[in-house]
Amino acid sequence: MSRLRRALAAIAVCVVAPFASAQEVKVHAYADARLVDAANDPSFVNGGPGRLRYGDGDTRARFGAAALVVTAQVTPALFALADVQLQQTDHASPQLMEAFLRYRPLSLSAWRASLKGGLYFIPISLENDGIGWTSPWTVTPSAINSWVGEELRGLGAEAREEWRGDNGTLGLGGGLFRHGDPAGNILATRGWSLSDLVYGVGGRLREPSEEDGGRQAYAPLQSVGGRTGWYADTRWTNAAGLDLRLLRYDNRADPHAHELYAGGDKLFAWRTRFWSVGAKFATGPVTWIAQGMDGDTDVQPRQNIVRTHFQSGFLLAGWNRGAWRPTLRVERFRTWPSGERGRAVTAALNWRPSDWLRLTAEWLHVAATRDARADVGLSPHERGNQLQLLARVMY
């Protein structure tokens, strides 16, 4: 972790310093509270077998999250962003989500290049394009983007080239990153989740366990073996609102490498590779988002490779009705050979009476099977509902 701290300190100097002389500085923030009627299973947040953010059948008011996002247009070509959030995971903690510089010079031709460096979200999500990497459609993102928020981040550099034609824009890009070696661990040990928690620097993700409180938590963003991962993607957009994306990810982790927890347990690196494909388009007032992911993750603690395959896909429809935005999402997910297979339905009604206030009612139903639930004395079959009434203030 000392190497991560040194890297982040260098990034902080590079990102924060330009704010003092920036041409334009913008500050965005949000905070939310919610009334929650939780599912019965204990939540994975505290090491339980449930795959939703809230559990134990509680009905009470909760703090959700708070974020401060500062952007600076340092020059016409240089842009800086820093995002710090207070997340209520297994403990309340301020976490650094993003801190990067982007250099994108003006271009009078059809071609336009850009470079980005620092800590940033890998360009996978079509849902979470709101302030602080939130979704304007639902409170809880899909299983795919829940995992992105948990384990997938880039601490490195990205290059991108765009070609702007009469019919649309074609983008090609890719990046190299470090400190993503544990990515895939939580899918193999716990399976998919549905949660709006986002884990950054300072956050700790807890594995499921038979013991109360779960196994020792680990930092998702860390180096275990010190390898450099990569991703490459392509994107097509047009004036009609069509957005098509294809991405390949490989963290190139060494499946033999491991670090020790404070209690002596081993956190292994997981070699994780996947394809992600998605589309976003509109038909009248309805916006459609579809995304699928297919991949596998390997670990080799001894002689034999332990491989977990994972798949998930969803379809979202959001109806833009002025201040009102009803949304419906259906999805499926599975991992094998763990025997996990499930589906979820999310219905949300959003109301934005003003720019600074969002009110959302969300119902989420999940039905899934995972063999490992029998290890904690539960039926392999899980069925639960989570209701949230959210009030979010924004600046």
Cβ-proximal residues to 216 (8 Å cutoff; 6+ apart), any chain: 206, 207, 261, 262, 263, 265
167 C-beta neighbours (distance < 10 Å), count:
9
pLDDT in tens, 308-324: 999 999 999 999 999 99
First to last CA, the chain: 34
**Cα angle 380, 385, 388; round to 5:** 145
Q: Using CA atoms, how far apart are residues 73 and 179, in angstroms rounded to an integer?
A: 28
Q: Using CA atoms, how far apart are residues 366 and 383, in angstroms rounded to an integer?
A: 6
8 Å CB contact between 279 and 243:
yes
Q: Using CA atoms, how far apart are residues 144 and 310, in angstroms rounded to an integer?
A: 10
pLDDT in tens, 37-91: 999 888 988 888 889 999 988 899 999 999 999 999 999 999 999 999 998 776 6
Bridge pairing between strands 59-73 and 24-37: antiparallel
Number of compact structural domains in the chain? 1
8 Å CB contact between 288 and 281:
yes
Q: Using CA atoms, how far apart are residues 21 and 44, in angstroms rounded to an integer?
A: 44
Find the CATH number of the domain harbouring 88.
2.40.160.10
Sign of dihedral through CA atoms 108, 111, 116, 121? positive
* C-alpha separations of 61 from 36, 194, 385, 394 in Å: 6, 19, 17, 19
* Res 212: pLDDT: 46
What DSSP element (H or E) covers 117? Answer: strand 111-120
* Res 163: pLDDT: 96
Residues of the chain with pLDDT under 50: 212-214
Cβ-proximal residues to 284 (8 Å cutoff; 6+ apart), any chain: none
Q: Which residues pair with 68 in a beta bridge?
A: 29, 84
Largest alpha-carbon pair distance within the chain?
65
Q: Which residues pair with 87 in a beta bridge?
A: 65, 93
Helical ranges in the chain per DSSP H = 2-16, 143-151, 185-189
2 C-beta neighbours (distance < 10 Å), count:
6
Cβ-proximal residues to 310 (8 Å cutoff; 6+ apart), any chain: 187, 192, 274, 293, 294, 295, 296, 297, 333, 334, 335
Give the phi and the psi of residue 59 in degrees, each rounded to 5: -130, 105
- Label residue 121 exposed, middle or buried (CB < 10 Å: 0-12, 13-18, 19+): buried
* Single-letter amino acid, residue 204: R
What range defines the domain where residue 10 resides?
Answer: 2-394
